[in-house]
Amino acid sequence: MNKKIGILAVLFAISLLVAFQVSVAKGYSAESPSIKARGVKNVIILIGDGMGVGQVEITKLCYGHLNMEDMPYAGFELTDSLSGPVTDSAAAGTAIATGFKTYNKMISTVKVRGKVVNVTTLLELAKYSGKATGLVTTTRITHATPAVFASHVENRDMEKEIARQLIEHKVNVLFGGGKREFDTETLDLARRNGYKVIYTKDELKNVDGEYVLGLFSESHMPYVLDRDNNTVGLLDMTKKAIELLEKDPDGFFLMVEGGRIDHACHANDVASVVAETKEFDDVVGYCLDYARKNKDTLVIVLADHETGGLGVGTNYGDPIDEHRILSIKASVSKMAKEIKEGGDPREVIKKYTGLDLTDEEVEKIKEAMNSDNKYALGNAIGEILSERVGVRFISHIHTGNPVPIMAYGPGQWYFRGFRHHVDTSKEIADIMLFGGERSVNANGIGVIKGDADGDYRIDLDDAYITLNYYVGKTTLNNDEKRLDMDNNGIIDYMDVIKIMEMAES
Ligand SMILES: [Zn+2]
């Protein structure tokens, strides 16, 4: 018996030593892969920010058919965060990117006994396994949804710091708005890290290279309805991103966000909701086609949360007027700006929507102009227009409604039923690393660091068990502490990576 304990102690010491050396040697840099992914080659995650079933339904009523309808598997995502049933994009995105619930505003960080701890993301996991990575959005590239995949900060408003971290992470493709968040220092760092930095549609068309930073707008990209021929669209960016990323023989991980569906919902701007969701659905169609031709590609379509509580139907029971919705030629935000700059409300609304405002509606707009809330005017116009076209929002903020998730490709059948973002994250990690299917024998955590199944050795089963049963934990019992390979108080994808490194070395 003493002999056995002695052997165990030696094994334990060796495993600690190996873990220590691995962590010292690797640090954070995924230039050369440190683990080998055995699952699906390409993962594309498409996120419609604020896109609930109502937003999808109204866009379908306007256009007849959506590409999303061709996704063979679908389910509902619960979106609650540690702040409560109503999440923001930071906590929802963190759950999708890391498998951890966190508090609103936090970007891929969690609190462990009051301390803020970074949590490893799916994009980092992809990078560690040698895949190319990309983030594409119509918002600022430093906004919450792209940020959660390749930065770690306590508060989403730290966008200049997020910009720096996106570059530090060497994400191969970064396309979106947000030029204003990249100061000279960050741009210098980008160029030193090998990035080509581009700003225009022409440059996007011709660009090539391993690292490309495309900043196509000072802040968010313009709404679809407000664009001109020089504006870069979400589909342009997605096509180029895939063209650049697919050159990597190990495959790629790409997140594309239809980021302004949410903004349109906040303003109750139904015409923009439809236009932004349609653009997002065009991207869904393109990626579906790509996955049909490239079988080793998983496409996931989901929303981070719902915004506005949008539904077809009003008090008056008037049918939805899809022709009117499709004939509106500007966003509510553009109309509000023109009125604020002295435009006559009746004329501005008539010009862009063809509608004649009633006296009460003009009164409502004038009242909103006197409000201290800078969004009040846009909100008032949005309320008037949505009522006129037969839809209604219950609020200007996020709701706790479950949102749709759809999947196509290897492992698609996992993404169905009622689930939470954290389940989806871990399933994507599992499919990417292990192909989604592995039968393991778990006898409980062993005495050796990293031995998740208690068989006194470290192999891929331990990484698999750690991923599927323990990732997401922020309070660890004494057994679980032996799976916290980097001793940061949580079990996240980094611990899975470290166990895989030990299994493979
Ligand atoms: Zn929002």
Question: What is the Cα–Cα distance from 442 to 431, expressed in whole angstroms?
Answer: 20
Distance 88 CA to ligand 1 centre (A): 7
Residue pair 492/100 in contact (Cβ under 8 Å)? The answer is: yes
Quote the ligand 1 centre to 90 CA distance (angstroms).
Answer: 10
Q: What is the pLDDT of residue 25?
A: 37
Enumerate residues 6+ apart whose C-beta is below 8 A from 306: 50, 51, 52, 53, 54, 55, 79, 265, 398, 399, 400, 401, 402, 403
What 462-467 contacts at long range (C-beta under 8 Å, 24+ apart), as own/partner pairs, is: 462/499, 462/503, 463/433, 463/496, 463/499, 463/500, 463/503, 464/430, 464/433, 464/434, 464/438, 464/440, 465/440, 466/491, 466/495, 466/496, 466/499, 467/426, 467/429, 467/430, 467/433, 467/434, 467/493, 467/496
CA distances from 15 to 10, 129, 456 (A): 9, 22, 11
Distance CA 502, CA 109 (A): 26
| DSSP codes joined into one string, 335-379 | HHHHHHTT--HHHHHHHHH-PPPPHHHHHHHHHHHT-S-TTHHHH
89 is catalytic: yes
Which phi-psi region, left, alpha or beta, contains residue 54 (left: φ > 0; alpha: ψ -120 to 50)?
alpha
Q: Residue 422 C-alpha to ligand 1 middle, in angstroms?
A: 20
Residue type for position 214: G
Residues 501, 100: Cα–Cα separation, whole Å: 22
Intra-chain end-to-end CA distance of the chain, in Å: 30
The active-site residue, picked from 89, 108, 331, 333, is 89
Q: What's the CA-to-centroid distance between 104 and ligand 1, angstroms?
A: 12
Nearest to 145 by CA among 275, 14, 261, 5: 261
Q: Which residues pair with 77 in a beta bridge?
A: 403, 419
115: left (phi over 0), alpha (psi -120 to 50) or beta: beta
Each residue of 164-193: b (16+ CB within 10 Å) or e? bbbbbbbbbbbbbbbbebbeeebbebbeee
Residue 312: predicted pLDDT: 84
User: 246 CA distance to ligand 1 centroid (A)?
Assistant: 32
Ordered per-residue pLDDT tens for the chain, 505 residues: 344 445 545 545 545 444 444 433 333 344 567 899 999 999 999 999 999 999 999 999 999 999 999 999 999 999 999 999 999 999 999 999 999 999 999 999 999 999 999 999 999 999 999 999 999 999 999 999 999 999 999 999 999 999 999 999 999 999 999 999 999 999 999 999 999 999 999 999 999 999 999 999 999 999 999 999 999 999 999 999 999 999 999 999 999 999 999 999 999 999 999 999 999 999 999 999 999 999 999 999 999 999 999 988 776 667 889 999 999 999 999 999 999 999 999 999 999 999 999 999 999 999 999 999 999 999 999 999 999 999 999 999 999 999 999 999 999 999 999 999 999 999 999 999 999 888 888 889 999 999 999 999 999 999 999 999 999 999 999 999 999 999 999 999 999 999 999 998 8
Query: Rg (Cα) of the chain, in Å, rounded?
Result: 24
pLDDT, residue 32, reads 65
Q: What angle do CA 122, 213, 201 make, to 5 degrees?
A: 125
Q: Which residues contact 337 (CB under 8 A, 6 or more apart)?
A: none
Distance 232 CA to ligand 1 centre (A): 22
Count of H-run helices and E-run strands, the chain: 19, 15
Tell me how far CA of residue 194 lies from CA of 73, 133, 159, 191, 485, in angstroms.
Answer: 40, 15, 22, 5, 32
Distance CA 442, CA 455 (A): 9
Question: What tokens does 92 get?
Answer: 């929802």
pLDDT given for residue 314 in this prediction: 73
Centre of ligand 1 from the C-alpha of residue 396, in Å: 9
Tell me, what's the pLDDT at 110? 98
Partners of 190 in the β-ladder: none
Q: Give me ligand 1 centre to Cα 247, in Å.
A: 35
Distance CA 396, CA 416 (A): 29
Domains for the chain: give ranges and CATH numbers.
42-310+396-434 (3.40.720.10), 323-389 (1.10.60.40), 441-505 (1.10.1330)
In 280-352, DSSP assigns E strands to 297-307, 311-312
What is the spatial distance between Cα 500 and Cα 344, in angstroms, rounded to a whole number?
Answer: 65
In eight-state DSSP terms, residue 222 is: P
Query: Comparing C-alpha atoms, which of 285, 274, 303, 168 is closest to residue 238?
Result: 285
CA of 266 relative to ligand 1 center, distance in Å: 6
Q: Is the Cβ–Cβ distance between 382 and 270 less than 8 Å?
A: yes
